[in-house]
Amino acid sequence: MASGIFAIFDDIAALMDDVAVASKVATQKTAGILGDDLAVNAEKATGFLSSRELPVLWAITKGSLLNKIIIVPIALLLNIFFPIAITVILVLGGFYLAYEGVEKIIEYIFHRSKTGEEVIEERKENGADLEKAKIKSAVMTDFILSVEIVIIALGTVLDRELTVQILTVSVVAIIATVGVYGIVALIVRMDDAGYALIKKSDDKGIWSKVGRILVKSLPIIIKSLAVIGTIALILVSGGIFVHNIAFFHDLLPGKPSIVKEMGIGLLAGLLVVGVVNIFKSIFKVKPQS
């Protein structure tokens, strides 16, 4: 009886060892997309009142966990019964990310100064509704990025038994969520940490200087994240098209992959923005006379 229990423990230990090795490889493979995920979600989780930053980030984190709970079993099932559907989902997600990225660029280029009345109206709209909209947008973007993370992780263990596949993909999904949003939480609370250091050191010495650096760095980091996040959206979308559509994969073989992915992402985004604007103009509700 005792030997049977120890044999079970040995099997579990061997399984965990296999999962640990596979998870390490899968995490390395997904490192690039995890970096993009961090940049995109850090940008989306900023811009709120200090008192609302952590609640908003927690809401996005819960949405991200729910995304993983939905995606992991579906990806495993589709990979077994209908693998082409994974590619279709990724491509549709690529169009969504491209649209988000290009829309941000167009809005920045053609942004006009608001009149006083528009500013007042915008302030009225700011608050719970705007917060919910940003959370919804962040969770949707996270969903697309999570799909790619899970698919890449799954691709590293396709030759392993199903148990190893399930555990490895689950581990990577948890690391992706906890790691990304943990770092985002540190970023958005940099100024609070800086003020705490300044207060604790009585505004003297090395810790005071560190605190001031943290406080002054936060606005710069947030502005940088807005740019990096937008670029990441376009690069990820272009990468999805390049890696999943043979025509784009073989297109311009002499060009660096980053140039090709950026160009394809921009073109895809412009296409979707054009289609969306056409639909908006067609179905625009005319005011009643």
What would the pLDDT profile of 242-275 be if each residue is shown by its tens digit? 888 888 888 877 788 888 989 999 999 999 999 9
Query: What whole-number distance in Å separates Cα of residue 18 and Cα of residue 16?
Result: 5
68 pLDDT higher than 80: yes
- The pLDDT value given to residue 44: 67
> 169 vs 41, 66, 81, 174, 269, CA distance in Å?
21, 15, 18, 9, 30
Query: What whole-number distance in Å separates Cα of residue 138 and Cα of residue 44?
Result: 6
Asked if 29 contacts 152 with a C-beta cutoff of 8 angstroms, the reply is yes
Query: What whole-number distance in Å separates Cα of residue 130 and Cα of residue 171?
Result: 33
- The pLDDT value given to residue 289: 43
282 pLDDT higher than 80: yes
- The pLDDT value given to residue 269: 92
**128 or 191: whose pLDDT is higher?**
191
Query: What whole-number distance in Å separates Cα of residue 228 and Cα of residue 222?
Result: 10
Least confident piece of the model among 12-21, 202-211, 259-268: 12-21
Q: What is the DSSP string of 76-89?
A: HHHHHH-THHHHHH
Mean pLDDT value across the chain: 78
- Under DSSP, is residue 269 helix (H, G, I), strand (E, B) or coil? helix
Average pLDDT over residues 139-159: 80
16 pLDDT higher than 70: no
Query: What whole-number distance in Å separates Cα of residue 233 and Cα of residue 104?
Result: 10
Average pLDDT over residues 4-17: 58
Query: What whole-number distance in Å separates Cα of residue 228 and Cα of residue 12?
Result: 42
229 pLDDT higher than 50: yes
Question: Which pLDDT band holds residue 55 (cuts at 50, 70, 90)?
Answer: confident
Q: What percent of the chain has pLDDT over 90?
A: 5
Question: Which pLDDT band holds residue 20 (cuts at 50, 70, 90)?
Answer: confident
Query: What whole-number distance in Å separates Cα of residue 52 and Cα of residue 57?
Result: 8
Query: What whole-number distance in Å separates Cα of residue 193 and Cα of residue 58?
Result: 19
Question: Which pLDDT band holds residue 14 (cuts at 50, 70, 90)?
Answer: low
287 pLDDT higher than 70: no
Radius of gyration for the alpha carbons in the chain, expressed in angstroms and rounded: 23
